[in-house]
Structure 1
Amino acid sequence: MASSRRLRALITNDDGIDSPGLWALADATRDAGFDVVVAAPHRDASGVGASVFAVRGEDGVAVHPRELPGLDGVPAYAVEGHPSFIVYASGRGWLEPKPDLVVSGINLGANVGRSVLHSGTVGAALTAGLQGWYGLAVSLDTGWTPPEHPHWEAATAGLPEVFDLLLSRDPGTVLSYNAPDVDPAALRELREAELAEFGTAQVVVEHREAGPGGATHGTLRSSLHEVGEQPSPTSDVGLLAAGHPTVTELRSVAAVPGVLGGVVVTSAH
């Protein structure tokens, strides 16, 4: 397996620079032997997927140096941009040396099912893969209402095993790792999981008409509703519910040959 001792890890997230989950992840990654640098959005950027949006002023995108709790000596930056923008910028001349891997999280809430497409945590890891780096998205299954004291250590406990798994594969590999929010002693064995067809909750959007004299056509209000279907026991949703940390390899955008089925297309005149 590849040695982690010479590798540089960029730690980011979509919950923002002030998330304790980010700090725990950076600390655990440093303990695993990586050269760590932290760069995360200056405020919450959940649900932005692989967006490369950034707030651009006259002089560019603002970067604020930060000192993070328990991370003395680790360079850290709050960036006024989305997680994938941070990853993209890191490979385009901002960070030297460039990262070898991007570790994104620890997200407050699981990233499961096909809805991982919309996760900023996962988007950062997928963007790393597109640049030929290793990518790892780390999430904690805290349920609908996050607890006051999440078990971040439940996610960090399995990181050495997941890092070994990741680094045994080719650069460009992206893994999504979810852990139940339990005491680490209660964790069951790590399992490979398929993506569920749905997550643990479904977003329902309601259109509310504007009142008399309103300047808009109304508002769209979204809310979460529990999914009634039972997940497959081999899916990420099912395995997490059974107390297993899960790992899933993700693939990003790629062309699929054969769309024309061998039909010869001639130019139209």
Structure 2
Amino acid sequence: MPLALVTNDDGIDAAGLHALAAAALEAGLDVIVAAPAEQASGASAALSAVRRDGRTVIDRRELPGLDVPAWAVQAQPGHIVAAALNGWFDPRPDLVLSGINHGANVGRAILHSGTVGAALTAKISDTRALAVSLAVDLHPTGVRHWKTAAGLVAPVLELLFDAPDGTVLSLNVPDRPAAEVGPLRHARLAPGGAVQTRVEEVGDGGVRLSEVEVPDMPEPDTDSALLDAGHPTLTELRSVEADDGELVQKWLAGRD
């Protein structure tokens, strides 16, 4: 069976992580879990970690209702994935599953997401990855519908396993009961994200930032718009890639 590394940026105790690990098991995968010991949202693909005697600090954990090897890691998600795919585990994981994130990861603001950063770190090692996010409100109330997102993991894995090595997919799911969710749709990235960071106060010695929900209507057919309309969205993501160089080459040619 393929071996999946399950990680996240919300931390080892997050309900979304446990739901994703359970979904991976139900899909027939072997599973190992390694996730930040504490909240690491907004970490992007950072490789920072807490080290003791030169080694990243890890602790074995037991996850409620899950019989899988699990570690709490004093590190960012990108660090965890880099270690897992480059010698930590034997056998090496065949794919990375990141999430289920508490909040949507849409638009170009996914650059800052630790959930997406973990998946894109896998791409660097030519490993398939799936980032899964639940569109929880910025100030949520009531029950979170983790099972709605978890229920879409198996069908998306069918696509992922048929895709080339290094393929990275991002799945965003409305925070609704499964019966109230529309069909899965392909989506392009919106220009912004689900929330924006704004400067709330500037004073001597500090700047206060806050997160606010984006007030503008998203562009049609973007991940933000389709998600707002009740559709789960699926987007293939690229990692760091060079452009064809036309801009730089023209500039250099003009200096000759």
Give the TM-score normalised by structure 1: 0.90
**1:244-255 alignment runs, 5 A limit:** 244-255=231-242
Match of 1:70 in 2: 65
- What is the CA distance between 1:224 and its match in structure 2? 2.1
Q: Secondary structure at the match of 1:85?
A: helix
User: For 1:37-52, what aligned pairs fall within 5 Å after superposition?
Assistant: 37-52=32-47
CA contact (8 A) 2:56 2:74 kept: yes
1:36 aligns with 2:31: yes
Instruction: Note if 1:26 corresponds to 2:26.
Output: no
Distance 1:103 1:163 in 2: 10
CA distance in 1, matches of 2:55, 2:142: 37
Q: Which residue is equivalent to 1:60?
A: 55
Contact 2:106–2:224 (8 Å) recurs in 1 = yes
Is the 1:109–1:146 Cα contact (8 Å) retained in structure 2? no
Q: Are 2:213 and 1:219 aligned?
A: no
Q: Is the 8 A contact 2:60 2:70 kept in 1?
A: yes
Instruction: Give the gaps of 5 or more residues in structure 1.
Output: 1-5, 211-217
Render the CA deviation track for 1:154-211: whole Å, top value 9, x for unaligned: 101111111111112101000000000001111110000000001122110244323x
Contact residue 113 and residue 199 of structure 1 kept, 8 A: yes
Residue 94 of structure 2 is aligned to residue 100 of structure 1:
yes
Aligned residues: 255
Contact 1:39/1:76, CA 8 A, preserved across alignment: yes
Q: C-alpha displacement at 1:59, in angstroms?
A: 4.5
The 1:150–1:256 alpha-carbon spacing in structure 2 relative to 1, beyond 3 Å, is same
Secondary structure of the equivalent of 1:175?
Answer: strand
Contact 2:132 2:172 in 1 (8 A): yes
Higher share in helix: 2
Q: CA deviation at 1:220?
A: 1.4
4+ runs of 1 displaced by more than 3 Å? 259-265
Once the two structures are superposed, residues 50-90 of structure 1 have per-residue CA deviations (whole angstroms, 9 ceiling, x without a partner) of 00000112251111000001112x10000010000000001
> Which residue does 2:120 correspond to in 1?
126
Aligned to 2:224: 237
Secondary structure in 2 aligned to 1:99? Answer: coil
Deviations 1:103-122 (A, max 9, x none): 00000000000000000000
Question: For residue 202 of structure 1, what is the aligned residue in structure 2?
Answer: 196
Select which of 5, 17, 20 maps to 1:10.
5
Q: 197-206 or 115-124, which moves further after superposition?
A: 197-206
SS at match of 2:139: coil
| RMSD of equivalent CA atoms | 1.8
SS in 2 for 1:92: helix
Q: Which has the larger radius of gyration?
A: 1
Distance 1:57 1:148, change over 3 A: farther
Matches within 5 A, 1:75-154: 75-154=69-148
Distance 2:60 2:52 in 1: 17
Cα distance in 1, alignment partners of residues 53 and 147 from structure 2:
42
TM-score, structure 2 as length reference: 0.95
Larger proportion of strand? 2
Distance in 2 separating the partners of 1:263 and 1:204: 36
**2-structure distance, mates of 1:262, 1:114:** 28
Q: Is the CA contact 1:108–1:146 (under 8 Å) kept in the aligned structure 2?
A: no
- Which letter does structure 1 place at the counterpart of 2:140? P
Structure 2 Cα separation of the partners of residues 230 and 105 of structure 1: 26
Structure 2: segments with no counterpart, 5+ residues: none
